[in-house]
Amino acid sequence: MAVTIKSQREIDLMRESCRLLARVHEELRQAIEPGISTLYIDQLGEKLIRGMGCVPNFLHYNGYPASICVSVNDEVVHGIPRADRILQEGDIVSLDCGLIYKGYHSDAARTHGVGRISPEAQKLIDETRNSFFEGIKKAKAGNHLHDISNTIDDYISQFGYGIVEDLVGHGIGTSLHEDPQIPNFRQKRRGLKLQAGMTLAIEPMINMGRCDVEWLDDDWTVVTEDGSLSAHYENTILITDGEPEILTLI
């Protein structure tokens, strides 16, 4: 398993890449409203990223055709933006994106309500976010990957939600996806021992119903098998000897 430990120079570049991505997410959050298309979100995101002198790292990655993954309601991840997909009052929408700054990648995801949403949808969004913060309490040098995975699982299990098992978090640095893989569900093996200088993308994907997912015919969009809502929350973090540093939060 080729896990990279970043030098101080690399950490500084990762910090800046992630800081810029956090700004992009904030701009996109402010743009979310009923009546806009998912393509508009993608176009705005790409414009913001390129305006910062960066490159959208999702665009053409393994053939993905857009800069921002825009996933609505029962779409878990990798929704393809479309001009005819219009956000409606009460929808929830997950935005997953990243950028490259001087050769270093960042990656983060957020789920937003569109206008007024149901209390149940808001709780799903909130608890998905909360599960990330619970999980990273264990993200410190000397612990193991399973400490993060099991903590997320323990937190989410109390709500009866389904934790997506087909997709996981990952290392990140000079590549968008590096080792190790980081599940959001309970693991029997301890997994990799965490070391200061690792940069990881932790990303719980939580369904209101069952954990099962399926891929649509576009070969990208992942949806819940039972049609239930899904939420996604992700940040790029830095492992330290103490508390982890969340790089993609402003």
What pLDDT does residue 191 have? 87
Write out the E strands in 114-177.
162-163, 169-171
- pLDDT, average across residues 176-190: 95
Q: pTM above 0.95?
A: yes
The number of beta carbons lying within 10 Å of the beta carbon of residue 182 is 23
How many Å apart are CA 150 and CA 238, to the nearest integer?
Answer: 19
Using alpha carbons, list the distances in angstroms from residue 164 to 144, 148, 190, 210: 21, 15, 20, 8
Token representation of residue 217: 């015919």
The number of beta carbons lying within 10 Å of the beta carbon of residue 216 is 13
Can you name the residues that pair with 37 across neighbouring β-strands?
86
How many Å apart are CA 173 and CA 27, to the nearest integer?
Answer: 24
For the chain, what is the mean pLDDT? 98
pLDDT band at residue 190 using 50, 70 and 90 as cut-offs: confident
pLDDT band at residue 53 using 50, 70 and 90 as cut-offs: very high
What pLDDT does residue 100 have? 99
Q: Give the strands of the sheet with 199-202, arranged side by side.
A: 178-182, 169-171, 199-202, 235-238, 245-246
How many Å apart are CA 124 and CA 170, to the nearest integer?
Answer: 23
Burial of 84: CB neighbours in 10 Å, binned 0-12, 13-18, 19+: exposed
CB 197, CB 41: distance < 8 Å: no
- Return the CA Rg of the chain: 17
- pLDDT, average across residues 158-178: 98
Q: Is the pLDDT of residue 60 over 70?
A: yes
Q: Is the pLDDT of residue 250 over 90?
A: no
pLDDT band at residue 148 using 50, 70 and 90 as cut-offs: very high
What are the pLDDT digits (tens) for 63-77?
Answer: 999 999 999 999 999
CB 246, CB 90: distance < 8 Å: no
What pLDDT does residue 105 have? 99
Q: Is the pLDDT of residue 1 over 80?
A: no
What are the pLDDT digits (tens) for 86-98?
Answer: 999 999 999 999 9
How many Å apart are CA 149 and CA 143, to the nearest integer?
Answer: 12
Query: Domain coordinates of the chain in residue numbers?
Result: 8-246
pLDDT band at residue 15 using 50, 70 and 90 as cut-offs: very high
Consecutive H or E run containing 26: helix 8-31
What pLDDT does residue 194 have? 98
What are the pLDDT digits (tens) for 97-139?
Answer: 999 999 999 999 999 999 999 999 999 999 999 999 999 999 9
Task: Please determine, looking at this structure, whether the domain spanning 8-246 carries the CATH number 3.40.309.10.
Answer: no
Nearest CA to 39 out of 73, 76, 79, 77 is that of 79
